[in-house]
Chain A
Amino acid sequence: MDHSFPQKVLEHLFSFIDSNKDRNAISLVSKSWYEIERRSRKKIFIGNCYAVSPTTVIKRFPELRSITLKGKPHFADFNLVPDGWGGYVYTWIEAMAVSVPLLEEIRLKRMVVTDESLELIAKSFKNFKVLVFISCDGFSTDGLEAIASNCRNLKELNLQESEVEDLSGDWLCYFPDSYTSLVSLNISCLNNEVNLSALEALLGRCPNLQTLCLNHAVPLDKLPSLLSQCPQLVELGTGVYSTEEMHPDVLSSLITAFSGCKQLKSLSGFWNVLPSYLPALYPICSRLTSLNLSYAIIQSSDIVKLIGQCPNLLRLWVLDYIEDVGLEAVAASCKDLQELRVFPSDPSCLELNNALTERGLVSVSKGCPKLQSVLYFCRQMSNAALSAIAQIRPNLTRFRLCILEPHTPDYLTLQPLDSGFGAIVEHCKDLQRLSLSGLLTDRVFEYIGTHAKKLEMLSVAFAGDSDLGLHYVLSGCENLRKLEIRDCPFGDEALLANAAKLETMRSLWMSSCSVSYGACKLLGQKMPKLNVEVIDESGPPDSRPDSCPVEKLYIYRSIAGPRLDMPGFVWTMGDDSSRKLELDVAGVEAQFRNL
């Protein structure tokens, strides 16, 4: 029997293969497979928008329908990446507008979008369906008007945590009366009021709406009428969850409205909570799998009453108002909890918070057997607590601990927290993401290099003693893809000795460290496939000795070469074109002198 697979059969088979990873695998099988695969690939994920050019992507995948792009480095979230650094999406939109008119989905994270980009999207892609902008900026509600007016098939508009210039709340009115396809709307980041009657009408005519995340400007007394238009919601972000004074009729309409939402599984929003309104949620608590109270200023006792009724929670985000006692309640009630994030209510406060300590995290680790992902801000920690967490929860895959004051030692022994984090990496064998904090020596990096074999992303701040620390990580962590470091005494040696490692990683960020300009230049010359970007707002590094440390350094691998959209405070090292220009100029100067 002929065992060969005809092209049509392969094409058909490939249509069942959807994941990025598997598509990437089959594309490498043979030349003909590569061709068949690339012509049928619909979805592409690009982890660094500067790693590849739009032209390359479009040429290779002409049938693209969905693109995901990530721009600025993660530390941009902490204001460490100066404005104007880059991450502009316009060139991508421009290229796709010409060559990929059937594009349906654009998902961006940490990119700069402009109103022009939005207008171009609105008029270029007739079948456009999904627009997701996470932590993006650079656009205004004018751009949203263009999207609303033109994208007749839009299903999702998600502006999560983006910075939008809010010029008018009327952009929602630009959705025509004939538009009914909305499935997901997240406008939680907008600052001003949106036109509520337009919103209500929109909700009423979109029967497939599943996600609605309002902004804080939506008053609570309007929520029941909005909800009555879309009782089929699965995910809701409320607006402000209080009124100036408690109104019993608002409470009763809320109770009715929430009871009508039989599919509701996820809640967020909750700016300004008036606790008397919380009982409206009680009827739906048992169905909740996700609860985000990270904007809610409420007392521990009120949180406990709420959470006690949410036995099916998988995900909980909350402020430190929850306190250890609240976390004990979580440990007792939420046996299926997978992800916990505890945020600081007042990060700048230097006083010790005796109510939210390491004990809360230990309770949840002990009580929640499925806990995998932790982000925990606190003010004190001990090696004993970390060790206990590590041994009882070896299934942790993401562990981010943020002790607010840098260099904070183990509060019981006053020792560094090396052994505690060492226990984490030793026991949690599938750990893929780790953030360190507290007083840490080079020893913690030795533990990480030795044990954290599945680690893909590491964040380090105010830690280590010497280059040895960086060397342990770069030489030991086989699966490391993203490393971000700030305020650590890491210099040239470890970086240059592990230069080859950098080609196996997506990116390295180092700011306020001790890497010299000379080393950056050397690295840029030695490793032509890396973009070694020096970011320095204090002026051209050329004007200072080579031994001077650079302010910030961002290194990433790229097949697109140095980027062309850098602002005046970013330089790419070892850029041949600039060197060539220097040589040409020198040649001309030499000729001049000979005249």
Chain B
Amino acid sequence: MAQEASSSTSSKTISLKTGDGEIFEIEASAAKQMKTVQRLIDDLGDDITIPLHNVFSKELPKIIEYYKKDITGEITKDFEAEFVKDLNDDEVKVLFLAANYLDANKLFEFLSQNIADRLESKSVEYVRKYFGVENDFTPEEESKLREERAWSFRGIKEDE
């Protein structure tokens, strides 16, 4: 469907439907920042409710909140710190994957850094649990790698 040249695209809102059936509104200019959404708009038109099968009602509002700030140029370090302050590790993870699915680059980069920060100085076991990854090393393989790690590549505080 051909789009009319709009004199005020910024006031246009897009309807997004989450995987669990809820509908949220977002400014068209914010939607533009999420490439997946924009592609769907280009294919389906901007009057149709855009279905987002892989994003749910828990996280979409947070994402919309981020991009609302982005289009008004108000994203500051303080805002970003506040944005993640009360999120637990799982919530950040879900947001991160959603940002990836939506191809929302700025949010994705920010959350990548945040997750990297949360992983700082964490143990192997913690990282496995956090990402839900199973350890598929045999005990011998793991032991050998741990040895290699400790003996070859580990620094001590004095090295810093």
- CB of A457 closer than 8 Å to a CB of B: yes
Q: Return chain B residues, CB-CB under 8 Å to A20.
A: 153-155
A52-B151 CB under 8 A given contacts A13-B116, A17-B116, A31-B136: yes
- CB of B106 closer than 8 Å to a CB of A: no
- CB of A506 closer than 8 Å to a CB of B: yes
Asked if B147 contacts A559 (CB within 8 A), the reply is: yes
Asked if A559 contacts B148 (CB within 8 A), the reply is: yes
- How far in angstroms is the closest Cβ of chain B from A337? 19
- How far in angstroms is the closest Cβ of chain A from B125? 9
- CB of A28 closer than 8 Å to a CB of B: yes
A19-B135 CB under 8 A given contacts A27-B145, A29-B128, A30-B128: no
User: B158 is contacted by which of A6, A21, A28, A456 (Cβ under 8 Å)?
Assistant: A456
Asked if A29 contacts B154 (CB within 8 A), the reply is: no
Contact with B along A299-319 (1 / 0, CB 8 A): 000000000000000000000
Asked if B154 contacts A24 (CB within 8 A), the reply is: yes
Contact with A along B106-138 (1 / 0, CB 8 A): 001000110110011111100110011111110
- How far in angstroms is the closest Cβ of chain B from A576? 19
Asked if B153 contacts A46 (CB within 8 A), the reply is: yes
How far, in whole Å, are A578 and B54 apart by their CA atoms in the complex? Answer: 64
Asked if A30 contacts B151 (CB within 8 A), the reply is: no
Asked if A16 contacts B151 (CB within 8 A), the reply is: no
Asked if B112 contacts A29 (CB within 8 A), the reply is: no
How far, in whole Å, are A3 and B89 apart by their CA atoms in the complex? Answer: 13
Contact with B along A257-284 (1 / 0, CB 8 A): 0000000000000000000000000000
Looking at B19, B56, B122, B142, the one whose CB has the most chain A CB atoms below 10 A away is B122
- CB of B82 closer than 8 Å to a CB of A: no
Contact with B along A1-23 (1 / 0, CB 8 A): 11111100100110111011110
Interface residues of B (CB under 8 A from A): 19, 54-56, 93-94, 97, 100, 108, 112-113, 115-116, 119-124, 127-128, 131-137, 142, 145-149, 151-159
- CB of A25 closer than 8 Å to a CB of B: yes
- CB of A427 closer than 8 Å to a CB of B: no
A16-B116 CB under 8 A given contacts A2-B54, A3-B132: yes
How far, in whole Å, are A21 and B154 apart by their CA atoms in the complex? Answer: 7
Asked if A432 contacts B128 (CB within 8 A), the reply is: no
- How far in angstroms is the closest Cβ of chain A from B53? 9
How far, in whole Å, are A9 and B102 apart by their CA atoms in the complex? Answer: 13
A30-B149 CB under 8 A given contacts A45-B155, A432-B157, A482-B156: no
Q: Return chain B residues, CB-CB under 8 Å to A46.
A: 152-153
User: B152 is contacted by which of A19, A397, A433, A559 (Cβ under 8 Å)?
Assistant: A559
Q: Return chain A residues, CB-CB under 8 Å to B156.
A: 47, 432, 456-457, 481-482, 506
* Beyond A1-B55, A16-B115, A24-B153, 8 extra complex contacts between A and B, CB < 8 Å: A1-B94, A13-B116, A30-B128, A30-B133, A51-B152, A433-B158, A481-B156, A559-B151
Looking at A13, A33, A398, the one whose CB has the most chain B CB atoms below 10 A away is A13
For residue B122, which residue of chain A has the nearest CB? A25
- CB of A57 closer than 8 Å to a CB of B: yes
Q: Return chain B residues, CB-CB under 8 Å to A33.
A: 133
- CB of A26 closer than 8 Å to a CB of B: yes
How far, in whole Å, are A12 and B54 apart by their CA atoms in the complex? Answer: 20
User: B121 is contacted by which of A5, A21, A34 (Cβ under 8 Å)?
Assistant: A21
Q: Return chain B residues, CB-CB under 8 Å to A56.
A: 148, 152
Q: Return chain A residues, CB-CB under 8 Å to B121.
A: 21-22
A30-B154 CB under 8 A given contacts A21-B121, A559-B148: no
How far, in whole Å, are A45 and B156 apart by their CA atoms in the complex? Answer: 10
State the 9 A-B residue pairs at the shortest beta-carbon distance, nearest first.
A16-B116, A52-B152, A28-B124, A456-B156, A481-B156, A432-B157, A45-B155, A24-B149, A557-B151
A482-B154 CB under 8 A given contacts A12-B112, A30-B136: no
Q: Return chain B residues, CB-CB under 8 Å to A28.
A: 124, 137, 142, 145-146, 149
Taking residues whose C-beta sits less than 8 angstroms from the other chain, chain A's interface range is: 35 or more
Asked if B158 contacts A482 (CB within 8 A), the reply is: yes
Asked if B152 contacts A1 (CB within 8 A), the reply is: no
Q: Return chain B residues, CB-CB under 8 Å to A2.
A: 54, 97
For residue B115, which residue of chain A has the nearest CB? A13
Asked if A19 contacts B120 (CB within 8 A), the reply is: yes
Q: Return chain A residues, CB-CB under 8 Å to B122.
A: 22, 25
How far, in whole Å, are A559 and B124 apart by their CA atoms in the complex? Answer: 22
Asked if B100 contacts A1 (CB within 8 A), the reply is: no
Q: Return chain A residues, CB-CB under 8 Å to B133.
A: 29-30, 33
For residue A397, which residue of chain B has the nearest CB? B157
Asked if B124 contacts A25 (CB within 8 A), the reply is: yes
Contact with B along A32-60 (1 / 0, CB 8 A): 01100000000011110001100011000
For residue A70, which residue of chain B has the nearest CB? B159
How far, in whole Å, are A324 and B147 apart by their CA atoms in the complex? Answer: 48
Q: Return chain A residues, CB-CB under 8 Å to B136.
A: 30-31
Residues A532-548 near B (CB distance < 8 A): none
- CB of A211 closer than 8 Å to a CB of B: no
- How far in angstroms is the closest Cβ of chain B from A110? 12
For residue A52, which residue of chain B has the nearest CB? B152
Q: Return chain A residues, CB-CB under 8 Å to B54.
A: 1-2
Asked if A1 contacts B147 (CB within 8 A), the reply is: no
Asked if B124 contacts A29 (CB within 8 A), the reply is: yes
Q: Return chain A residues, CB-CB under 8 Å to B154.
A: 20-21, 24, 45, 47
Q: Return chain B residues, CB-CB under 8 Å to A158.
A: none
Asked if A51 contacts B112 (CB within 8 A), the reply is: no
What are 27 inter-chain pairs, A to B, with CB distance below 8 A?
A1-B94, A3-B93, A3-B94, A12-B108, A22-B120, A24-B149, A25-B122, A25-B124, A27-B149, A28-B145, A29-B124, A29-B131, A30-B135, A30-B136, A33-B133, A45-B154, A46-B153, A51-B151, A52-B151, A70-B159, A433-B157, A456-B156, A457-B158, A506-B151, A506-B156, A557-B151, A558-B151
How far, in whole Å, are A45 and B152 apart by their CA atoms in the complex? Answer: 8
For residue A433, which residue of chain B has the nearest CB? B158
- How far in angstroms is the closest Cβ of chain B from A129? 21
How far, in whole Å, are A81 and B127 apart by their CA atoms in the complex? Answer: 42
For residue A24, which residue of chain B has the nearest CB? B149
How far, in whole Å, are A44 and B56 apart by their CA atoms in the complex? Answer: 41
Q: Return chain B residues, CB-CB under 8 Å to A433.
A: 157-158
Asked if A5 contacts B158 (CB within 8 A), the reply is: no
How far, in whole Å, are A45 and B159 apart by their CA atoms in the complex? Answer: 9
- How far in angstroms is the closest Cβ of chain B from A557? 5
Contact with B along A328-365 (1 / 0, CB 8 A): 00000000000000000000000000000000000000
For residue B116, which residue of chain A has the nearest CB? A16
How far, in whole Å, are A4 and B134 apart by their CA atoms in the complex? Answer: 11
For residue A1, which residue of chain B has the nearest CB? B54
Q: Return chain B residues, CB-CB under 8 Å to A1.
A: 19, 54-56, 94, 97
Q: Return chain A residues, CB-CB under 8 Å to B97.
A: 1-3, 5, 9
